[in-house]
Structure 1
Amino acid sequence: MKHRYQINGISCSGCVARVKKTLEAHPDIEKTEIFLHPKGATIISMKEELSREDLQRQLNKLDGYTITEII
């Protein structure tokens, strides 16, 4: 299942790589696509549905990023 999010704090391709690696380290995340245009737009494919809070906990392994769901 795919969900759309906005990740605040993304500013460059290095940010994209770090955030993608961190999110995909979660066993229930299959694939993460993060875009710079529009900045921080994200599509996450999951094996099991994770809440925004679960995703934020995973992102908290890095400093400075917050995630919100786009409905």
Structure 2
Amino acid sequence: MKQKFQINGIRCGGCVATVKKNLEAHPNIEKAEIFLAPKGATLITMKENLSIDELQKQLSKLNGYTITEIKQ
């Protein structure tokens, strides 16, 4: 299942790599695609649907990033 999100705090390719690695460390996330254009646009493929709170909890291991869902 793929869902679209916006991750605030993404500024460069290094941010993308760090956040991607962090998100993909979660056992229910198969793949995270994070884009610089538009900045912070994210497509996450999950095995099981995760709430925005669960995703933010995973991101809270890093400093300075917040995630919001993009309604389709």
Do the two structures share a fold, i.e. TM-score over 0.5? Answer: yes
Partner of 2:22: 22
Secondary structure of 1:62's counterpart equals coil
TM-score by length of 1: 1.00
Residue of structure 1 in register with 2:13 after alignment: 13
Please tell me the residue identity of whatever aligns with 1:36: L
Q: Any unmatched runs of 5+ in structure 1?
A: none
Shift of 1:6: 0.1
Instruction: Provide the TM-score with structure 2 as the length reference.
Output: 0.98
1:17, distance to aligned residue in structure 2 (A): 0.2
Number of aligned residues: 71
Show the 5 A alignment for 1:1-71: 1-71=1-71
Query: Structure 2: which 5+ runs fail to align?
Result: none
Runs of 4+ in 1 over 3 A off after TM superposition: none
2:7 is aligned with what amino acid? I
Question: Identity of counterpart residues, as a percentage?
Answer: 72
